[in-house]
């Protein structure tokens, strides 16, 4: 199993290809529906301006984590030998995390370079499906029992997925 | 020493972020397009009324959709009122937050093909399994 480190993390379909393709889609759509296309562009700009400060914060936090916790410690907390502590951090972290997944991808990719297990990243990403601030709304729409059951099954599902990834990767990166 | 380590790590993360910025902007631009051009009515029209097929459709449609989670609850609530099965609605709201078809290029660029494929495939299968388990358990509790 090959590790995808930052050095060989060069995408095959990178922004150099996708950006011109998306720009072309915008141009084509602008010809047929200019108002809606501009609305989409405005929406995208609003998302981007909302996310950029968060990204900068994430970069600073990653710098701090790396400086304060040495790589060995990070590996101990969330690496091969992390055990129940690692699973607990992944589950609780996923539940408590909020905001766009795009922000978390960057941080998780950095942590992965610091020997954090893929299984814990998968578990973290799946438990993000539990959206604490939106639980009251979910209860009002679908009921308390449904929300409780779904939440419990999401946690169980996240752990099983993590175990599957662990078995598939034999403790290394996929 | 720690100060130096921070500066070093900061620039390393910044470099990685800037490298992926065009891809990130592309994904955000796609998100904007999706949010404006794909309406909840369009999503609702994709369901057929067959519980099994609708559960599969719900998972795919939820995975392809983008937006705040509460939007999926609103659409899910409307779909339930329209007579769609609870299995399909559960799969839909779950895959809305666990699958990200629009974000795939970005995930792939950061984690590689194998990780991205495995994670999304597992998320897809588990959206179906969890939908079935949740609704079945709900029946038992009632």
pLDDT tens, residue by residue, B117-140:
999 999 999 999 999 999 999 988
Is the per-residue pLDDT at A123 higher than 50? Answer: yes
Higher pLDDT, A122 or A114: A122
Residue among A52, A72, A129, A168 with most chain B CBs within 10 A, to mutate: A129
B33: closest chain A residue by CA: A40
From the list B21, B30, B100, the residue facing A101 with the nearest CB is: B100
Residue among A23, A26, A43 with most chain B CBs within 10 A, to mutate: A43
Q: Scan for tokens 């290029």, then name that residue.
A: B105
pLDDT in tens, A14-27: 677 888 999 999 99
Higher pLDDT, B58 or A9: B58
A75 interfacial to chain B (CB closer than 8 Å): no
Q: Specify the pLDDT at position A33.
A: 93
- Please state the rounded mean pLDDT for residues A100-121: 86
CA–CA gap between residue A86 and residue A115 (Å, rounded): 12
Contact residues, chain A, for B10 at CB < 8 Å: 59-60, 62-63
Q: Scan for tokens 């992965």, then name that residue.
A: A112
Cβ under 8 Å to A: B residues 20-79: 20-33, 35-37, 69-70, 73-74, 76-77
Contact residues, chain B, for A154 at CB < 8 Å: 94, 130
Question: Minimal CA–CA distance to B26: which of B105, B99, B110, B90?
Answer: B105
Higher pLDDT, B67 or B133: B133
Residue B38 is encoded by which pair of tokens?
């794909």
**Interface touch A106/B16, C-beta < 8 Å:** yes
**Interface touch B103/A29, C-beta < 8 Å:** no
**Interface touch B69/A131, C-beta < 8 Å:** yes
- Please state the rounded mean pLDDT for residues B84-106: 92
Question: Minimal CA–CA distance to B34: which of A107, A154, A22, A120?
Answer: A22
Nearest-Cα distance to chain B for A133, in Å, is 10
CA–CA gap between residue B138 and residue B121 (Å, rounded): 26
From the list B29, B98, B137, the residue facing A44 with the nearest CB is: B29
List, in sequence order, the alpha helices (H) in chain B: 2-37, 40-44, 51-64, 69-81, 86-98, 104-111, 113-141
**Interface touch A16/B22, C-beta < 8 Å:** yes
CA–CA gap between residue B24 and residue B128 (Å, rounded): 29
């Amino acid at each position: 199993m090959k590790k995808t480190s930052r050095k060989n993390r060069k995408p095959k379909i990178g922004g150099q290809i996708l950006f011109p393709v998306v720009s072309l889609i915008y141009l084509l759509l602008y010809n047929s529906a200019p108002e809606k296309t501009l609305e989409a562009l405005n929406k995208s700009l609003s998302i981007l301006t909302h996310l950029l400060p968060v990204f900068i914060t994430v970069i600073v936090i990653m710098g701090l984590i790396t400086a304060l916790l040495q790589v060995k410690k990070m590996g101990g907390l969330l690496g091969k030998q992390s055990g129940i502590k690692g699973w607990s951090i992944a589950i609780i972290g996923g539940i408590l995390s909020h905001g766009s997944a795009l922000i978390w991808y960057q941080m998780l990719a950095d942590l992965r370079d610091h020997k954090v297990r893929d299984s814990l990243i998968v578990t973290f990403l799946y438990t993000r499906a539990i959206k604490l601030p939106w639980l009251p709304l979910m209860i009002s729409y679908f009921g308390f029992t449904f929300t409780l059951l779904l939440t419990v099954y999401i946690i169980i599902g996240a752990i099983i997925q993590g175990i599957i990834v662990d078995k598939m990767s034999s403790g290394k990166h996929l | 020493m720690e100060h130096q380590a921070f500066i070093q790590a900061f620039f390393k993360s910044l470099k990685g972020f800037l490298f992926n910025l065009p891809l990130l902007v592309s994904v955000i631009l796609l998100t904007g397009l999706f949010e404006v051009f794909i309406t909840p009515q369009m999503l609702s029209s994709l369901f057929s009324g067959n519980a099994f097929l609708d559960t599969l459709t719900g998972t795919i449609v939820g995975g392809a959709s983008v937006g705040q989670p509460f939007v999926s609850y609103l659409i899910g609530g409307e779909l339930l009122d329209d007579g769609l099965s609870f299995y399909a609605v559960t799969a839909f709201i779950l895959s809305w937050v666990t699958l990200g078809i629009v974000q795939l290029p970005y995930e792939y660029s950061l984690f590689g093909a194998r990780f991205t494929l495995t994670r999304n495939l597992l998320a897809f299968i588990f959206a179906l399994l969890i939908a079935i388990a949740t609704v079945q358990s709900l029946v038992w509790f009632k």
